[in-house]
Structure 1
């Protein structure tokens, strides 16, 4: 996965310099930003992955992530000295895919970067083929169908779109509001409570064939994510 473009965002020059050298030695191309505003500007170059510090002046990493998610789909890995569960939940709620505590192991960071990029590459390939494959479940994006353990699962259009949205962003957490806005639109009449009911129906339909796999996991206090494990 050499030549992938990674954006590093941190207001500490020493950390930026250290990580840039380490990642360039791995063959990655590296962009850097020392502030949230600079990060938003650099993101226009469409990096493959973003490493984002949480504690920054003027605009913190959570605020940056929320704005990035309006235009950017790539994995976002938070680096933070904030160790509480609440802080990690806030990071996921803002649109982050991963959360690594400072001080961190460089080897672990490299491994997580590689894992995220490998997953994105696999999903991109599957999207081009129009098929998303998971253990015991296949999603046909062109045919708008879901097959679970060789059984066609009869989903309504909105149920299918929820499954596709979550599956195409495996591991990323979406709030009910985000799902509703993406699939129903900002001008739709109604409210996001309908997402809870749709998720219940999807789970019930998949449970008939899924053999103890839930696929859609609830992340308490935030929303839902796709995790076929």
Structure 2
């Protein structure tokens, strides 16, 4: 029985073969691509998650992510030989959900993939919608709208809004937001959270002057009722 469909994109044959063997052994249907152009074609396979190498010669992973992000909602995990604060921010701005640094342990990568897929399929028995004045949050459809006009958010941006709106008034520090949204105790960089909050606020400001996400200086953020 096939568990999930995974697309692996890397220009190193050895890595592609290793990952393909690993995920097929664990019940995945595996699609592969060794270039950005091939990756764009394989998107038609409708993968549940994508592992995407950043450093590729013809079209790097960031460009691939930018081109497909508006058309696929599945998690995109970057594979990279190095990562610093600037690289991480650029990756998340491109629409990525996570990154794994090479060389990596297969078991750790497999667990990371499973965690993303579990969150994609998580059920929620609480209310399906909340309203804050003219702002509506539909958790089933994963939509935010203001006076019936949808505010386009990326997956991670909505995840942050969902966390804050389900706990209005509660203060979350940046590290806690990272842990909840990304789902593991990694070395979350607070700049990543700051950038996501900045983008959410910028999108909200196109529809309303009210600042729903309040900064609690020296601590973190909370949703204003």
What TM-score range do you get, normalising by the shorter chain? 0.5 to 0.7
Q: Count the aligned residue pairs.
A: 176
TM-score by length of 2: 0.66
1:44 CA displacement: 1.0
CA RMSD of aligned residues (A): 3.5
Aligned counterpart, 1:154: 133
Residue 51 of structure 2 contacts residue 76 of structure 2 at CA under 8 Å; is this kept in 1? yes
Aligned counterpart, 2:222: 214
Distance, in Å, in 2 between the alignment partners of 1:64 and 1:110 is 22
> Residues 77-123 of structure 1: CA distance to partner in whole angstroms, max 9, x if unpaired?
0000122111111111100000111111211111110010001111x
Aligned counterpart, 1:39: 39
Query: Any idea what SS the aligned residue of 1:78 has?
Result: strand
Query: Any idea what SS the aligned residue of 1:99 has?
Result: strand
Distance, in Å, in 2 between the alignment partners of 1:156 and 1:29 is 40
Aligned counterpart, 2:15: 15
Give the 3 Å change call, closer, same or farther, for CA 69–197 of structure 1 in structure 2: same
Residue 79 of structure 2 contacts residue 100 of structure 2 at CA under 8 Å; is this kept in 1? yes
Residue 35 of structure 2 contacts residue 56 of structure 2 at CA under 8 Å; is this kept in 1? yes
Residue 213 of structure 2 contacts residue 221 of structure 2 at CA under 8 Å; is this kept in 1? no
1:2 CA displacement: 4.8
Give the 3 Å change call, closer, same or farther, for CA 47–121 of structure 1 in structure 2: same
1:159 CA displacement: 4.4
Aligned counterpart, 1:58: 58
TM-score by length of 1: 0.65
1:155 CA displacement: 3.9
Give the 3 Å change call, closer, same or farther, for CA 34–176 of structure 1 in structure 2: same
Aligned counterpart, 2:172: none
Residue 146 of structure 2 contacts residue 207 of structure 2 at CA under 8 Å; is this kept in 1? no
Distance, in Å, in 1 between the alignment partners of 2:3 and 2:197 is 30
1:75 CA displacement: 0.2
1:195 CA displacement: 6.5
Distance, in Å, in 2 between the alignment partners of 1:101 and 1:195 is 38
Unaligned runs of 5+ in 2: 137-144, 163-180, 183-195
The 5 Å alignment of 1:45-194 reads 45-122=45-122, 125=123, 133=126, 138-140=127-129, 145-146=130-131, 153-156=132-135, 158-159=145-146, 161-162=150-151, 166-167=157-158, 171=181, 173=196, 176=199, 180=203, 194=206
Distance, in Å, in 2 between the alignment partners of 1:19 and 1:196 is 46
Distance, in Å, in 2 between the alignment partners of 1:13 and 1:86 is 28
